[in-house]
A and B are shown apart, each in its own frame.
Chain A
């Protein structure tokens, strides 16, 4: 038998327990938030299970707790810090961010957050999903402001920038056949000016 087999065995069991716990936590979260086809009694049960899964992964511990930090470090370095529900339970909504660039002479241009390659373009789409998903408004504003600053650097003559963020509505196959095309729902807008003033927020 392989030398150190017991140690390998113990470590691998622990490793897979972590993977299973994280994956279960993600599934339970989906069920608890009524994002699945399961009926509401399942959601109620999942709501009870959710804190248990979170506690098992040290979520209830203080951020400075050494056990929590060690666990989180391991999850990140092993690439097992998140579950595998990609494009699940349903394909997520897409988002779009458009910048209106207002020049001092009254001119206006539109600009999208752009990159040079398709591979980086997929990453920008991920970033927009993140902005759309976050429920923490200051974080959303910070990210959009940072993106606006990157556009500003490309267009130094711009006086004000208005960032308009919206979600994408895709037609179903039947709707598409009847002529309906993709449309956008306005979610929020931010106005940024040259001076370091706080952004003016507009929500529907």
Chain B
């Protein structure tokens, strides 16, 4: 038992540099910026109060209250802003500007920790108040920002570090947070892959076909897609296997590069063919931050050596 504990401790606290943290901060900063900008035209319409907007945030917030009154929501921020005399619409606009500002600060690493907390909190409020209009991207943004705000910021690439010349953080603590993100990604892909393997549609390719022709994901005309119909079963199986085997092959130095490239390509393809750009970007950021730094393309080196010899 003591041996297991020790192994676990060694696994969870490897000494690391903060390169991955810099990548995560910059990536999430960009993600927050893209998220805010992509919703600019609809922000007030999506998150309006009762009797306004598309669906309003009244029902999702009421449902949240039945779960726990402590879960952050936009209603708190609107109420706080309204106390200073602003209208609901102005309050929502201020919240949007705050999110944009937090994204900018995160991107350049200006007051990194405070920016990360602000971005996490404001985005979480929007995601929770959105309720019925929230989807996977909100979940992954919350996960990323949650880990980021707890991680030992600022990193070496941040403006904070250039300015204030802070003492370096404990490498083991930096390594610990990287491990947490890595293990979480392994769980995400394993359970995602397992759930897909349990459906018939991923084995015969019908899910891939449906995903690409169903509105609003139908960016490519079905007349073009039908020419690739023989590739759908293969594509479906590859996605299942890629995801379910992620926790095995991503740890091995020899296969890490291949798996990371394949997973990033898969997300890039999802983004380009289904229009889920934000979802694709957040997944690529999380993957590259977690497994990118220190990556050895052993297979590439071997190929180069073989070619040279």
Contact = CB atoms under 8 A, between A and B. Distances in A.
Interface of A: 1-2, 5, 8-9, 12, 15-16, 19-20, 23-24, 26-27, 30-31, 35-38, 63, 68-70, 72-73, 76-80, 82-91, 94, 113, 115-127, 130, 142-143, 146-147, 149-150, 153, 168, 170, 172-173, 176-177, 182
Given A20-B187, A90-B199, A117-B42, 11 more contacts: A5-B13, A12-B12, A37-B198, A77-B142, A78-B142, A84-B195, A89-B197, A115-B46, A115-B54, A126-B135, A127-B132
Nearest to B193: A88
A86 B13 contact: no
Given A84-B188, A142-B59, A117 B8 contact: no
B206 interface: yes
Interface of B: 8-9, 12-13, 38-42, 45-46, 51-56, 59, 64, 66-72, 124, 128, 130, 132-136, 138-143, 146, 170, 172-173, 176, 180, 183-184, 187-189, 191-192, 194-203, 206-207, 209-211, 213-216, 222, 226, 229, 232, 275-278
Contacts of B133: 123-124, 126-127
A122 B55 contact: no
A90 B216 contact: no
Contact of B41 (A78, A91, A116, A150): A116
Contact of B210 (A37, A68, A91, A115): A91
Contact of B56 (A19, A79, A146): A146
Q: Which of B133, B140, B198 has the most CB atoms of chain A within a 10 A radius of its CB? A: B198
B210 A89 contact: no
B172 A72 contact: no
Given A77-B71, A176-B226, A1 B13 contact: yes
Contacts of A20: 187
A34 B71 CA distance: 33
Contacts of A121: 216
Contacts of A69: 67-70
Contacts of B45: 115-116, 120
Contact of B191 (A37, A63, A83): A83
A189 B275 CA distance: 30
Contacts of B138: 79
